[in-house]
Amino acid sequence: METLSQNKSHGGTQGVYRHASLVTGTDMTFSVYVPEHVRGTRLPVLWYLSGLTCTHANVTDKGEYRRACAEQGVILVAPDTSPRGEGVPDDEAYDFGQGAGFYVDATEARWASHFHMRAYLEQELPALVAAEFPADMERQGITGHSMGGHGALTIALRNPDRFRSVSAFAPIVAPSVVPWGEKALTGYLGPDRSNWRAYDACALILDGARVPELLVDVGDADQFLHEQLRPELLRAACDAAEIDLTLRLQPGYDHSYYFISSFMADHIAWHAERLKA
């Protein structure tokens, strides 16, 4: 693992790191904030998954999470959204290819060599974080924004014993039935919709996946609310499955990091309460 930068912030260390991923076959960059702590202490971990077009840098630069993480004693890990680099396939559209990995393991020929973000986040990167940072992997939470909210929900639903808490900002809750998701899942997984269900939070819940509770914030001025996000579908799925969903429609907020940063500390405190229990 190569250290690209380290800066002191709120008593802790904000680092950016790069490593050669065997899963994606590329170098992968990610950021980690580690609060100040007593040497030898293991801290709970909160994963943050970013949205379309983003890298680790978007939330690292604009997420305004470090003070809250320092106060709560929580490590925050922010990975990239896709493999990148020479030889990695791409698409000219913003919502497919590099920067738009959708947290799947691709099976279609063009993408299958590198686009394995599910395996990267469920297996490889957690092992690296456990080895290199003072992370208590028995106390993990996960959150994310938009495409990353989709990733957080689906990863948690597939791994309920690993995550004590899960939340999301403006998530794509049912990618199988919205334009962003239909495009990505067809492109990465092929046209057989039965193969998409493992990457659709509402479908996973319908198929029996469970977590105890969810926290979701969405802005009521979000330009993607009605076509791409469809939070009412998650409400219906959770009601049917008796999952405790706190769904907050925040008045006046859009899809941007102005929205995310406004509620980031609230989400971190919510996760910390569950990670420290």
* Active-site amino acid positions: 146, 222, 255
Residues listed for the chain? 277
Question: How remote is the C-alpha of 103 from its chain's centroid?
Answer: 8
Listed in sequence order, the residues at least 6 apart from 253 whose beta carbon sits closer than 8 Å to its beta carbon are: 219, 220, 221, 222, 259, 262
Give phi and psi for 135, each to the nearest 5.
-100, 130
CA distances from 51 to 28, 38, 163 (A): 16, 34, 20
- Give the closest residue to 37 by CA, choosing from 55, 13, 66: 13
Distance of CA 17 to the CA centre of its chain: 18
246 neighbors 216 (Cβ within 8 angstroms):
yes
The pair of structure tokens assigned to 66 is 């470090």
